[in-house]
Chains A and B, each alone.
Chain A
Amino acid sequence: MRIGSLSRRLRWVFFVVVALLTIAFLVSTLLIVRREEQEAAVREAESKLIGLSGSISSSIEGYKELSKLMIMEEPLAAFLKEEDSAEAFNHIIDAKYSMQRIINVTSGVDAVYAFRTDGMYACTKRGVFVLDKESYEEELWPAAVLELRGRAIEYANGNGALRKIDNYPFISIERAFYDMNTQERTGYLMLLVSGKVIDQALATHQGSDICVVGLDGTYLSGDRSLVRVYDRSLAGSAVTHKPYFVRGQRVMISGVRVADTPIIVISCIPLEGKPLPGRTLGVLIFLMGAMTVGIFVLGRFVSVNITKPINRLSKAMNIGESAKELVPISDKMPDNEIGLLKDSYNSMVIRISNLIQELITKEQTIQRAEMRVLQEQIKPHFLYNSIGMISSLALRNGAGEVSSALETLGRFYRNFLSKGDREIPLEREVLIVKDYLSLQKLRYGEIIRDEYDVKDECLKCIVPKLILQPLVENSIYHGIRLKGEEGIIRISATIEDDNLLHLVVYDTGVGMDKETAEKLMSGKKNVSPDEESFGLWGTIERLRYYFNRDNVVKIDSEEGEFTRIEFIVPVTYVPRAEEK
């Protein structure tokens, strides 16, 4: 069924379009949301990290100042300056005290170590520290300190040389000591700042998703689980971000190095569950709304301008069907392609109606003609009876010629009328011609000689009645009689290789001029009833109409010599009327 397939397809296309639009919308929304989330996370991370790193930096800076102050302390300086090791040993206690004093007035300092170049050291501490003597002796760590020429350097957790026994994180601030007078290096100072200092800085910021690590990844403070996401890329002096998955959650990992320190602050901000900013949300809602409205407008447009008018048109066309006749559509249609469709439908309906009317008229004419034939059938009874009666009368009076002539006449009329059939077998048509000619010969005597060459296979072919007789009549009146000599009429019928029936009437009459022959063959309605060839033309027209072919006749003639009219028609053995 094709009914409604268009609207179904339209609906389908509509759905696909809507689905595609929705998907596109969702994808773009998702992308926008992600972007917004990331941007928000970046913003949050930056503000957090910059704040944190600032506060850490300032407190570390404080401890650096402290270490400077400590070097200025006389007892400590004396301990470090003393050239004699034994003398120096005597200064240890004083140095310790002076360091102790400073630790006591400051919070966050876990221990202070002061090393002499000869390896002797004084220290004061809270808690237990283990000094890795070997690495100290190898001067692995002081080397970097020496390069700084008196400035401080920080290490997270003692750079491997020192370890707190409870593994609590600390930061070491180290500094080389130079004699003010000789400007020679006489020792080192190492200030161990407790990780608690950073804990305090973190405490001022909300959220636990912050972690502070050393440059080498050692844990200092905050969320210990974040240590594993640390890598060197986060150790930039500007805030660096990278998206990450933590426990199946999308997060934004951001990191920044606290200025002039080996301390990295890492933040982890979940990307999901961030509320969208109102502006973005507004744009998205507007887009969604506009799209919905657009789709509805489009759907409405298609429905109002195409589907509905087509349905209406189709309904209007169906009215004619139920009314069993073709009626033009009178409903008003929109003045567009639909209206055009209606107009062409209407003009088609009118044309078809006209054709039907023509057909009806034609059929009526044929029926009327058949009625007339039927009426004529009634009269022949009387005619045949009379002919029979006269024939026998003539026979009784010894007029055998009269009797046979009447017999011929009777047979001629019987075949001529053929019970009103419009189509007859060729053999009967030939019989009509034979009888017609034998009667004509009685009238005109010896001027006509007739010959027949009708092949057996043609005899049963069905032809319209009276297609040969008018030709023969034409041959006599417009051919042979005008010549004043004896003439031959030859009738032949064959089925040729083209599987068409070829009927030929040939006469040796005066012939036909080319113009007339062309006119007759052309099949145009250009022969007036007054013309001599009108009967011939009518017969050709009848053939054309009956076989529904244009090419049914071939006329060959030489003026003064002969006329040869050939009908070429399809071979049929069944009358048209019975086919139906």
Chain B
Amino acid sequence: MYNVMLIDDEASARKLMMDSIDWESLDMHVVGEAESGIEAINTIDDIKPDIAFVDISMPFMDGIQFSEIATQRYPDLIIIIMTAFDKFEYARKCVSMPIFEYMLKPMVRSEVTEVLKRAKARLDERGPVQWESSDTPEEQLSATEAVMKYIQENYTDSTLNLTSVAQAFGFSSSYLSRKFKSETGKGFAQYLTQVRMENAMKLAGPDVKMFNISAKVGIPDPNYFGRCFKKFTGKSYSEYAQGCAEK
């Protein structure tokens, strides 16, 4: 069973994709979605997909930018770019990236199925993306602390995620994930979001716009930021900002 991630700013498009493709018969299932490249960067380490469908036109971080990061961090990830006609030539210019396939919107089931079959064949041949690494490097006692410090220093970088930190420290991402969780009791992504949200709360105020703060704490997509904020504080940003004013 291979994991598929859908990255598209249009919910209806993701839904259509999810509903219309017979994933079962392809021995695949959709394990996650993201509304923007920013969200995808933040969640991909938890979702651990083998195949990613990426829409090109997305705000804040478009499909090309995302793919550039993703092909570096996850060289085995199969990326399928979906684009409307007017961006097709733009996408073509990015041929230097190991993109598995470019597909034209609107989506046609048979075409998608065909591409997925080929992707499956590739994965069968090569094996799934190695999200779980078996190698265990030497124990570094201060590693987790260093990572936490690194996060606190670099949380404004919107492309920061588990894999990029792991690569920066020379760990495998699975190792870092496990080690981080066991030593702090929190997931890496959870901690990163926590740092960002705590800083966001410090900046929040009735006169401060959400999209300004979101950009400052490394989540330039205010939609995704809003969801993270609500999840973290239990309040929407505007409610929270209002609360700040009343204090």
* Interface residues of A, Cβ cutoff 8 Å to B: 442-445, 477, 481-485, 510, 560
Q: Are B12 and A484 in contact (CB under 8 A)?
A: no
Q: A482-B222, A484-B214, A484-B222 are in contact. Are A477 and B59 (CB under 8 A)?
A: yes
Q: Are B225 and A484 in contact (CB under 8 A)?
A: yes
Closest chain A residue to B238, Cβ basis: A485
In the complex, which of the residues A444, A445, A477, A485 contacts B222, with contact meaning CB atoms closer than 8 Å? A485
Residue B150 at the chain A interface, CB threshold 8 Å? no
* Interface residues of B, Cβ cutoff 8 Å to A: 10-12, 59-60, 209-212, 214, 221-223, 225-226, 238
Interface of B: prevailing SS: helix
Q: How far is the CB of B222 from chain A (nearest CB, A)?
A: 2
Q: Are A484 and B211 in contact (CB under 8 A)?
A: yes
11 contacts between A and B (CB under 8 A): A443-B10, A443-B12, A445-B11, A481-B223, A482-B211, A483-B209, A484-B223, A484-B225, A484-B226, A560-B209, A560-B211
In the complex, which of the residues B11, B212, B225 contacts A560, with contact meaning CB atoms closer than 8 Å? B212
Residues of A within 8 A of B212 (CB): 560
Q: How far is the CB of B84 from chain A (nearest CB, A)?
A: 13
Q: Are B222 and A483 in contact (CB under 8 A)?
A: yes
Residues of B within 8 A of A444 (CB): 10
Q: How far is the CB of A292 from chain B (nearest CB, A)?
A: 85
Q: A443-B10, A443-B12 are in contact. Are A485 and B59 (CB under 8 A)?
A: no
Q: State in angstroms the CA–CA spacing of A482 and B238 once bound together.
A: 16
Residues of B within 8 A of A443 (CB): 10, 12
Closest chain B residue to A510, Cβ basis: B211
Residues of A within 8 A of B238 (CB): 485
Closest chain B residue to A561, Cβ basis: B209
Q: State in angstroms the CA–CA spacing of A477 and B60 once bound together.
A: 11
Residues of B within 8 A of A482 (CB): 59-60, 211, 222
Query: Contacts A484-B221, A485-B211, A560-B212 given; 10 further ones with Cβ under 8 A?
Result: A477-B59, A482-B59, A482-B211, A482-B222, A483-B209, A483-B222, A484-B210, A484-B223, A485-B226, A510-B211
Q: State in angstroms the CA–CA spacing of A560 and B209 once bound together.
A: 7
Closest chain B residue to A509, Cβ basis: B211
Closest chain A residue to B208, Cβ basis: A560
Residues of B within 8 A of A484 (CB): 210-211, 214, 221-223, 225-226
Q: State in angstroms the CA–CA spacing of A482 and B209 once bound together.
A: 11
Q: How far is the CB of A478 from chain B (nearest CB, A)?
A: 9
Q: How far is the CB of B87 from chain A (nearest CB, A)?
A: 12
Residues of A within 8 A of B209 (CB): 483, 510, 560
Q: State in angstroms the CA–CA spacing of A484 and B230 once bound together.
A: 13
Task: Pick from B10, B211, B214, B221 the residue with the most CB of A within 10 Å.
Answer: B211
Q: Are A483 and B12 in contact (CB under 8 A)?
A: no
Residues of B within 8 A of A481 (CB): 59, 223
Q: State in angstroms the CA–CA spacing of A482 and B220 once bound together.
A: 9
Q: How far is the CB of A259 from chain B (nearest CB, A)?
A: 132
Closest chain B residue to A485, Cβ basis: B210
Q: State in angstroms the CA–CA spacing of A444 and B8 once bound together.
A: 12
Q: State in angstroms the CA–CA spacing of A481 and B212 once bound together.
A: 13
Residues of B within 8 A of A483 (CB): 209-211, 222
Q: Top 8 A-B pairs ranked by shortest CB distance?
A: A484-B222, A560-B209, A484-B223, A483-B211, A484-B226, A484-B210, A484-B211, A481-B59
Residues of A within 8 A of B225 (CB): 484
Residues of A within 8 A of B12 (CB): 442-443
Q: State in angstroms the CA–CA spacing of A452 and B210 once bound together.
A: 27
Q: State in angstroms the CA–CA spacing of A510 and B213 once bound together.
A: 13
Q: How far is the CB of B38 from chain A (nearest CB, A)?
A: 11
Q: State in angstroms the CA–CA spacing of A477 and B10 once bound together.
A: 13
Residues of A within 8 A of B214 (CB): 484
Q: State in angstroms the CA–CA spacing of A442 and B226 once bound together.
A: 21
Q: State in angstroms the CA–CA spacing of A383 and B5 once bound together.
A: 33
Q: How far is the CB of A288 from chain B (nearest CB, A)?
A: 91
Q: How far is the CB of B86 from chain A (nearest CB, A)?
A: 12
Closest chain B residue to A511, Cβ basis: B209
Q: State in angstroms the CA–CA spacing of A445 and B9 once bound together.
A: 12
Residues of A within 8 A of B211 (CB): 482-485, 510, 560
Residues of A within 8 A of B221 (CB): 484
Q: How far is the CB of B236 from chain A (nearest CB, A)?
A: 9
Residues of B within 8 A of A442 (CB): 12
Q: State in angstroms the CA–CA spacing of A560 and B207 once bound together.
A: 10
Q: State in angstroms the CA–CA spacing of A444 and B59 once bound together.
A: 13
Q: State in angstroms the CA–CA spacing of A485 and B11 once bound together.
A: 17
Residues of A within 8 A of B60 (CB): 482
Q: How far is the CB of A529 from chain B (nearest CB, A)?
A: 12
Closest chain B residue to A444, Cβ basis: B10
Closest chain B residue to A486, Cβ basis: B238
Q: State in angstroms the CA–CA spacing of A279 and B173 once bound together.
A: 131
Q: How far is the CB of B176 from chain A (nearest CB, A)?
A: 30
Q: State in angstroms the CA–CA spacing of A443 and B209 once bound together.
A: 24
Closest chain B residue to A445, Cβ basis: B11
Q: State in angstroms the CA–CA spacing of A477 and B9 once bound together.
A: 12
Task: Pick from B10, B209, B226 the residue with the most CB of A within 10 Å.
Answer: B209
Closest chain A residue to B220, Cβ basis: A482
Q: State in angstroms the CA–CA spacing of A445 and B10 once bound together.
A: 10
Q: State in angstroms the CA–CA spacing of A24 and B209 once bound together.
A: 98
Q: State in angstroms the CA–CA spacing of A113 and B212 once bound together.
A: 158
Closest chain A residue to B225, Cβ basis: A484
Q: State in angstroms the CA–CA spacing of A442 and B16 once bound together.
A: 14
Q: State in angstroms the CA–CA spacing of A444 and B9 once bound together.
A: 9
Residues of A within 8 A of B59 (CB): 477, 481-482
Q: State in angstroms the CA–CA spacing of A482 and B225 once bound together.
A: 11
Residues of B within 8 A of A477 (CB): 59
Q: State in angstroms the CA–CA spacing of A483 and B11 once bound together.
A: 18
Q: State in angstroms the CA–CA spacing of A485 and B226 once bound together.
A: 9
Q: State in angstroms the CA–CA spacing of A483 and B209 once bound together.
A: 8
Closest chain B residue to A530, Cβ basis: B90
Q: How far is the CB of B40 from chain A (nearest CB, A)?
A: 17
Residues of B within 8 A of A560 (CB): 209, 211-212
Q: State in angstroms the CA–CA spacing of A484 and B59 once bound together.
A: 11
Q: How far is the CB of A538 from chain B (nearest CB, A)?
A: 14
Task: Pick from A444, A483, A484 the residue with the most CB of B within 10 Å.
Answer: A484
Q: How far is the CB of B34 from chain A (nearest CB, A)?
A: 15
Q: How far is the CB of B45 from chain A (nearest CB, A)?
A: 23
Q: How far is the CB of A236 from chain B (nearest CB, A)?
A: 123
Q: How far is the CB of A575 from chain B (nearest CB, A)?
A: 29
Residues of A within 8 A of B210 (CB): 483-485
Q: State in angstroms the CA–CA spacing of A444 and B35 once bound together.
A: 11
Closest chain A residue to B214, Cβ basis: A484
Q: State in angstroms the CA–CA spacing of A137 and B123 once bound together.
A: 183
Closest chain B residue to A478, Cβ basis: B59
Q: How far is the CB of B226 from chain A (nearest CB, A)?
A: 5
Closest chain A residue to B57, Cβ basis: A477
Q: State in angstroms the CA–CA spacing of A444 and B11 once bound together.
A: 8
Q: State in angstroms the CA–CA spacing of A483 and B10 once bound together.
A: 16
Q: How far is the CB of A507 from chain B (nearest CB, A)?
A: 14
Q: How far is the CB of B39 from chain A (nearest CB, A)?
A: 12
Q: State in angstroms the CA–CA spacing of A368 and B167 once bound together.
A: 55
Closest chain B residue to A442, Cβ basis: B12
Q: State in angstroms the CA–CA spacing of A455 and B11 once bound together.
A: 36
Q: How far is the CB of B195 from chain A (nearest CB, A)?
A: 20
Q: State in angstroms the CA–CA spacing of A4 and B209 once bound together.
A: 78
Q: State in angstroms the CA–CA spacing of A560 and B205 once bound together.
A: 14
Q: State in angstroms the CA–CA spacing of A477 and B58 once bound together.
A: 10
Q: State in angstroms the CA–CA spacing of A442 and B11 once bound together.
A: 10
Closest chain A residue to B221, Cβ basis: A484
Q: How far is the CB of A407 from chain B (nearest CB, A)?
A: 18
